[in-house]
Amino acid sequence: MAKDEEKKGNPMSDLKWFVIIILAAWLIGKFGLGGVGGKATRAGKIVSPVLPSLQAGNKSSQAAAMADNDSKWKGMVKIGGGNASGEDGVNQEYVTLQAYGGNKEPVDITGWSFSNGKNKKLFLIEGNDKQVRGVSDKVVIPKGTIIFIPNGANYQEDIVLEPGDRAIITTGKVANGIPFEIKTSFKENICSGYIEDLDNYDFTPPLYSDCPSPQSEEGAESLDDDCYKFVRRMNSCHTPQFKDVVYKDKESLTGFVDNVGNLGRQCKNFLKSKYGYESCVANHSSDKNFSGKEWRVFLNYPRELWAKDREVITLYDREGKIVDRLIYGY
């Protein structure tokens, strides 16, 4: 009788095993073969999970490291490529710095520095197959003068970009010294076009040229007819040339201005006192619109700074933290 019951089986025991099998199948479907503590890949390899708290901590550490190397001025000044990727001449090569118009305060850039990306390249040693890693050039932004005065003291102060201001950063210098030397960085103004108009200077890009119109100068309306006609024909930002003109039979006739004769002494004195860079500054430096929005900064570096291709231009503040970076050619 007992044997017959054993053959028939115990219903409760069968039910227990059935529940265990169903539960095991559910666990495998829910967590995979790796169990609760791991995650099964498609190849069946078990990978330990990353704890959310540690993962968040790693991201926080990376963000903190990046933040530590970023300048407080980041996002307020931007590097522009200028002609860096296509210019060979050090006195024409330039990049730009643009202060955003939405800045809440001016930005003092004197003492900031640039570096190029030579340290990211390998260079072949001449006469040798060996390659060595380059060393980046580093240059510092100098002081400048608010109003350039030819042959003057030109008091030096920090270069400050007001919101919306731009700086043209020229690698070299102003090479020409005629009719006057320009040995300082300076801020452009409504008279700067007189310098641009002179034949001996070659600024890249050209200086801002929006001088006061010749006939608007105080006293022009009182000139005699010949002088007034001369003034009306003058181009803006033009400096009249006072010189002798040789005519037929090599006879030298004096008193001509821009090849125009018959101008009286009073007219010539007026022209000298009103038209030309120095005269313009003397007459208009107190005008509300005198100061421009652009600085000309000269690094006086003796060789080319920026590569034609594969370049990284980095701008640092005085603490050596990164303000901005421009990458091209990669």
Query: Please, which pLDDT band fits residue 40 given cuts at 50, 70 and 90?
Result: very low
pLDDT score for 48: 30
Average model confidence (pLDDT) across the chain = 84
pLDDT at 150 over 80: yes
The domains of the chain are located at: 75-190+290-330, 216-287
pLDDT score for 10: 54
Q: Show Cβ contacts of residue 228 under 8 Å, excluding neighbours closer than 6 positions.
A: 215, 220, 221
Mean predicted confidence (pLDDT) in 23-39: 46
pLDDT at 277 over 80: yes
Q: What HEC string does 225-255 produce?
A: HHHHHHHHHCCCCCCCCECCEECHHHCEECC
pLDDT at 52 over 70: no
Mean predicted confidence (pLDDT) in 297-321: 97
Nearest to 108 by CA among 79, 70, 144, 139: 144
Q: Show Cβ contacts of residue 256 under 8 Å, excluding neighbours closer than 6 positions.
A: 242, 243, 244, 245, 263
Query: Please, which pLDDT band fits residue 125 given cuts at 50, 70 and 90?
Result: confident
Mean predicted confidence (pLDDT) in 291-311: 96
Query: Please, which pLDDT band fits residue 31 given cuts at 50, 70 and 90?
Result: very low
**pLDDT tens per residue across span 194-246:** 999 999 999 999 999 999 999 999 999 999 999 999 999 999 999 999 876 65
> β-pairing, 94-99 with 107-108?
unpaired
Mean predicted confidence (pLDDT) in 145-171: 96
Q: Are 187 and 158 in contact (CB under 8 A)?
A: no
What residue has token string 């731009």? 166
* Lowest model confidence (mean pLDDT) among 74-83, 223-232, 243-252: 243-252
Pick the CATH number of 75-190+290-330 from 3.20.20.140, 3.40.980.10, 2.60.40.1260, 3.40.1280.10: 2.60.40.1260
Nearest to 197 by CA among 218, 214, 211: 211
